[in-house]
Structure 1
Amino acid sequence: MDNSGWVQVEGGRVWYRMWGPENTVPLLILHGGPGSSHLGFRPFAERISEERLVVVYDQLGCGQSDRPQQKNLWRIERFVDELKILRKELHLQELHILGHSWGTMLLAEYLKEQPEGILSCIFSGPCLSAARWLEDAEHYRSLLPPHIQEALLEGERTGNYDTEEYRNATKFYEKRHVRQTDRTKEEAAEASAAFGLEVYETMWGPTEFYATGTLKGFDRTDILSTLSMPTLFTCGEWDEASPASTGTYAAMTPNSEFHIFSGCSHSPMNEDLLSYEKKMKEFLNRVERR
């Protein structure tokens, strides 16, 4: 099976692709951002589709989905409704869900309503508390070289985040804690074109280090103790979703396990694809054997 198309939601159409063996429980992937796309998960999805049905989609405002210029659309409740519609239209009655980064925020908000048919959940590089995410970022910043710290502080003092110095300092941080592997020029251009900047800035803010948007007070740790399905929490050793924070979330969740990808940052699906694939397959297959 290999189908792709669009589903109508509030504000426009979202693009999806589902492919793999039809007689398997599908894995639905919620990408990060907000405003990113499915591209970061494409290599992983291609590999796991060899043994199970996989579903990816670009959320409204990014990737191959429509990009309406309406800031009132960029709120988490609308993204939850979008997920509900997609699941209904694609007939995903029983499934696994993997959320990454912002996708874990969306997943947690969705789980608040206790939807049926979810066999397991995976929180990959989770951000379940905006405050804790920013605390981790502040800690990691304090370990950067002094000239990098100063460049970041200068941009934030002036509000000018578009200087070469600030951009280079941000790239330095990202190389340590977001993605350690380089994209090809073609991959970088594709990812840049797919990114929904308005979504990101409206929901998070102008920079990774300050939440000024609609997600600034987000905290959905309250639902973790209510989850009954098998749940996997993962992060990289140097992940901006720190092992300490991710481990805390796992400890709050009854039927959960926790895994750290050694040597990786926030993108183990790109930095160590084989290890990421192995862990996800092992977890999903074990859940289904139960």
Structure 2
Amino acid sequence: MSYLKNGEFTVTLNGINHWVKIEGAENQTIPLILIHGGPGGNHYVFERTAGPLLAKSRTIVYYEQRGCGRSDKPSADDQYSIDELTEDFKELKKWLGVGKVDLLGYSFGGELALEITHSFPEEIHHLILSAPSLLHTDVQKMVQITGFMSIGVSDLFNRLSEHFQTGATVEEIYNEVWEMVSPEIVDLLLFEDQEVARENRGLWEESDLVNTGLMSRALTNSPVAVPLLDRLKEIQHQTLILTGVFDRNTGVPISKLIHSNLPNCRLVLFGKSAHFPDLEETNKFVKEINMFFDYTNCIGYPNKARLS
């Protein structure tokens, strides 16, 4: 296995400059490549929270996807398809010059990690998904709608209830709710602990990195031909899913749906977390990942769900 070098790098992948950072290279483990969410997010918060803890024992590779965070945008606003994102990953792996790698994807990054693994199964060793999404499904839209209705904001609950009574479709209500919610309401959706939410938002502001929305719109307009859910059984890799029991964004229903369709998968539920167990229960999050690698590299990992 190649020995990687710590540092920040600008790497050209398919003609686009990408931000890449390597940490923990001295551990000389199979690289753990981190895949951020959004769509259109970045690693700035993870890089300052769970990431350094994981790098104490593992070689970590951060990269920000095309048009995201500190990476450059493609030449056209619609060049964000799943195929293009997976090809970028393939070029990143060539640049790293390593054999198999492990993946850790959070939120949309979990969905993208599954797409990458499906496309390049021989390149991937193990797979970790934190609160993974299934973007093009009604069930995820319904999880978010009911999540907003459950957070205790009476006006929002009443307005959404009125939409249901008019016979509006799930798609129409989903689009409407994201037009009407404030950042404070989004924080109530994403976090159980609002102090952690404030810390997270402070880091967002400190980063000065903006999600343009271009990737999300492009992916919405170009769904894959065969839904990911219909292909999950083809992914044979040992997989760990980490999900907060209060996750109102992608939610336990999505994680259980993915878990039930992956042949070699373990689901761990975090009892104090919503969408970001890496922020609300950081030490447990890191501990579960390290335990997963310890078990899978020795005697195998039992494929049962449990509450942490």
Q: TM-score range by the shorter chain?
A: 0.7 to 0.9
Alignment correspondent of 1:27: 32
Query: 5+ residue gaps in structure 1?
Result: 205-211
Alignment correspondent of 1:82: 88
- State TM-score, norm by structure 2: 0.80
For residues 250 and 128 of structure 2, the distance between their equivalents in structure 1, rounded to whole angstroms, comes to 14
Query: SS of the counterpart of 2:40?
Result: coil
Alignment correspondent of 2:222: 214
Query: Please, which of 232, 235, 240 is the counterpart of residue 240 of structure 2?
Result: 232
Identity across the alignment (%) = 22
Distance verdict in 2 for CA 1:179–1:102, change over 3 Å: farther
Query: Please, which of 174, 184, 192 is the counterpart of residue 171 of structure 1?
Result: 184
Alignment correspondent of 1:73: 79
- State TM-score, norm by structure 1: 0.85
Amino acid at match of 1:19: E
For residues 184 and 205 of structure 2, the distance between their equivalents in structure 1, rounded to whole angstroms, comes to 16
Query: 5+ residue gaps in structure 2?
Result: 164-171, 300-308
Greater mean alpha carbon deviation, residues 141-150 or residues 129-138: 141-150
Please give the root-mean-square deviation of Cα atoms over the aligned residues, in Å.
2.8
Distance verdict in 2 for CA 1:61–1:203, change over 3 Å: same
Alignment correspondent of 1:122: 128
For residues 252 and 185 of structure 1, the distance between their equivalents in structure 2, rounded to whole angstroms, comes to 34
Deviation at 1:154, TM superposition (A): 9.8
Deviation at 1:215, TM superposition (A): 4.6
Alignment correspondent of 1:253: 262
Query: Please, which of 142, 147, 152 is the counterpart of residue 149 of structure 2?
Result: 142
Amino acid at match of 1:286: Y
Query: Please, which of 282, 297, 302 is the counterpart of residue 288 of structure 1?
Result: 297
For residues 178 and 217 of structure 2, the distance between their equivalents in structure 1, rounded to whole angstroms, comes to 17
Greater mean alpha carbon deviation, residues 271-280 or residues 39-48: 39-48
Deviation at 1:67, TM superposition (A): 2.7
Query: Please, which of 152, 173, 196 is the counterpart of residue 211 of structure 2?
Result: 196
Alignment correspondent of 1:16: 20
Distance verdict in 2 for CA 1:235–1:197, change over 3 Å: same
Distance verdict in 2 for CA 1:124–1:162, change over 3 Å: closer
Alignment correspondent of 2:167: none
Amino acid at match of 1:13: N
Distance verdict in 2 for CA 1:201–1:255, change over 3 Å: closer
**Aligned length, in residue pairs:** 278
What does the per-residue CA deviation read over 1:65-90, in whole Å, with 9 as the maximum and x for residues that have no partner?
Answer: 11345212121211111111001101
Greater mean alpha carbon deviation, residues 56-65 or residues 222-231: 222-231
For residues 131 and 44 of structure 2, the distance between their equivalents in structure 1, rounded to whole angstroms, comes to 16
Alignment correspondent of 1:274: 283
Distance verdict in 2 for CA 1:114–1:60, change over 3 Å: closer
Distance verdict in 2 for CA 1:96–1:216, change over 3 Å: closer
